[in-house]
């Protein structure tokens, strides 16, 4: 069992009542089957995953996705990690401090254990052939389909911009290019990314039907990762200023946790529905300690928010200490960090150019 799973399983279970006997969720079923296949034949899979470089990666990323990427890599799966720099422009006019954010992200990846010898770290704007796939792909989806994407709808609703750009509207198609340029066939996702993966599958299927078999239809690998709330009790997010960065110092971590929202009930329990603030802190400690959140809560008992925050701070700082030490060490040699990204870009360009060549050949008979 991986570190995430004990706490994740508890977090995913309903607050009351027995666990359901039959899992009715098809995406979860499929993911469980895929996990078995990965163990049997990791070399059959190419994972495609990534992040937008909008700010420092935080503990939500660590327990939600980073940890899982390293696990897959260590199982022998070929992992591609994209720093989605063009995607930054979906909901803002300028990509602020892009180089700084990208380099910080590479540092975070390396510090958590993504190994550039085995995995490929690269960014959108360095891979022209990837971006070129966007044009044929756009021709394969209708405006009505793009309009129905619930995640894009939600992002538009929360966007700080007064109008919706064409890039915002079409970025799931760009993401299809991110995944398909290297024939990624496995995409670890949270629920919010499932509609995007459907777009990718549609694009792959229609391309193959129209022009001949070129692309795999990638599978979503739903993570069991629980949702960590930020220090204000809403979703932990780079842009909301409520996150605990991976790279925070022990003191910064203590200060951020001290400021977290709790409630007046001294008895600490794990009850995400009724007590989201307290429960998220309990969950964070449980994830760091690789323990069950109910047991962690019980141990703190009547200690109140102060004892809870002490426990969480210590758990986070202990768990993150090696990652942070490694990150600090790597940060002393930024030339190396930049070289990792350059080498990843070279590998990504090779894959993108080979795929684009296949696409050209396949389309030639038709257009």
Tell me the C-alpha distance between 55 and 283, whole Å.
24
CA distances for 110 relative to 53, 125, 149, 268, 330, angstroms = 15, 21, 33, 36, 8
Counting contacts by CB under 6 A, is residue 119 touching ligand TRP? no
Give the residue with the Cβ less far from ligand TRP, 293 or 344: 344
Cβ neighbourhood burial of 172 (10 Å; 0-12, 13-18, 19+): buried
Q: Is residue 179 near ligand TRP by the rule CB under 6 A?
A: yes
Q: Does 180 bind ligand TRP (CB under 6 A)?
A: no
Segment near ligand TRP (CB under 6 A), from 101-109, 174-182, 303-311, 318-326?
174-182
Contact segment (CB under 6 A) with ligand TRP among 79-87, 141-149, 203-211, 293-301 equals 79-87
Bridge partners (DSSP) of residue 245 are 58
Pair of tokens at residue 252 = 């910064």
Nearer to ligand TRP, 237 or 269 (CB): 237
Q: Which of 101, 178, 229, 323 binds ligand TRP (CB under 6 A)?
A: 178
Sheet holding 120-123, edge to edge: 120-123, 78-83, 46-51, 186-189, 219-222
Q: Which of 274, 296, 270, 272 minimizes the C-alpha distance to 285?
A: 296
Q: Which is nearer to ligand TRP, 59 or 257 (CB)?
A: 59
Quote the least distance from Cβ 251 to ligand TRP, whole Å.
29
Kindly tell me which residue out of 175, 185, 253, 280 binds ligand TRP, with binding defined by CB under 6 A.
175
**Residues 6+ away with beta carbon under 8 Å from 337:** 103, 106, 107, 110, 330, 331
List 47's β-bridge partners, or say none: 79, 186
- In the complex, residue closest to ligand TRP by CB: 84
Three-state DSSP class for residue 5: helix
What mask, x for binding ligand TRP by CB under 6 A, covers residues 42 to 61? ------xxxxx---------
We find the least distance from the C-beta atom of residue 171 to ligand TRP, in angstroms, to be 7
Q: How many residues line the site for ligand TRP (CB under 6 A)?
A: 12
Where on the chain is the footprint of ligand TRP (CB under 6 A)? 48-52, 82, 84, 87, 175, 178-179, 187
């Amino acid at each position: 069992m991986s570190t995430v799973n004990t706490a994740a399983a508890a977090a995913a279970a309903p607050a009351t009542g027995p666990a359901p006997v039959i899992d009715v969720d098809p995406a979860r079923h499929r993911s469980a089957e895929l996990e078995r296949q990965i163990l049997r034949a990791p070399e059959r899979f190419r994972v495609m995953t990534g992040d937008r470089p909008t700010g420092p990666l935080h503990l939500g990323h660590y327990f939600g996705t980073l940890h899982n990427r390293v696990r897959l890599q260590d199982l022998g799966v070929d992992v591609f990690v994209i720093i989605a720099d063009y995607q930054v422009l979906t909901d803002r006019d300028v990509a602020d401090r892009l180089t700084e954010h990208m380099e910080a992200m590479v540092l975070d990846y390396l510090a958590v254990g993504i190994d550039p010898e085995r995995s490929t770290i690269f960014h959108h704007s360095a891979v022209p052939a990837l971006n070129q796939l966007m044009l044929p792909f756009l021709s394969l989806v209708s405006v009505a389909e793009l309009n129905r994407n619930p995640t894009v709808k939600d992002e538009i609703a929360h966007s700080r911009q007064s109008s919706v750009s064409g890039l915002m509207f079409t970025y799931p198609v760009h993401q299809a290019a991110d995944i398909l340029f290297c024939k990624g066939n496995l995409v670890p996702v949270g629920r919010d990314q499932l509609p995007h993966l459907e777009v990718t599958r549609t694009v792959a299927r229609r391309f193959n039907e129209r022009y001949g078999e070129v692309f795999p239809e990638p599978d979503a690998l739903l993570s069991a990762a629980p949702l960590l709330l930020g220090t204000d009790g809403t979703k932990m997010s780079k842009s909301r200023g409520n996150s605990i960065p991976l790279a925070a110092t022990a003191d910064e971590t203590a200060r951020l946790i001290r400021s977290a929202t709790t409630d007046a009930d001294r008895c600490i329990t794990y009850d995400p529905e009724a007590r989201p603030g307290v429960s998220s802190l309990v969950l964070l400690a449980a994830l760091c300690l690789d323990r069950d959140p109910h047991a962690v809560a019980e141990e703190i008992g009547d200690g109140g928010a102060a004892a809870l925050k002490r426990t969480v701070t210590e758990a986070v700082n202990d768990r993150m200490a090696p990652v942070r030490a490694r990150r600090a060490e790597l940060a002393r040699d930024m030339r190396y960090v930049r070289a990792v990204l350059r080498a990843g870009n070279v590998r990504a360009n090779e894959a993108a150019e080979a795929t684009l060549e296949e696409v050209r050949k396949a389309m030639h008979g038709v257009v």
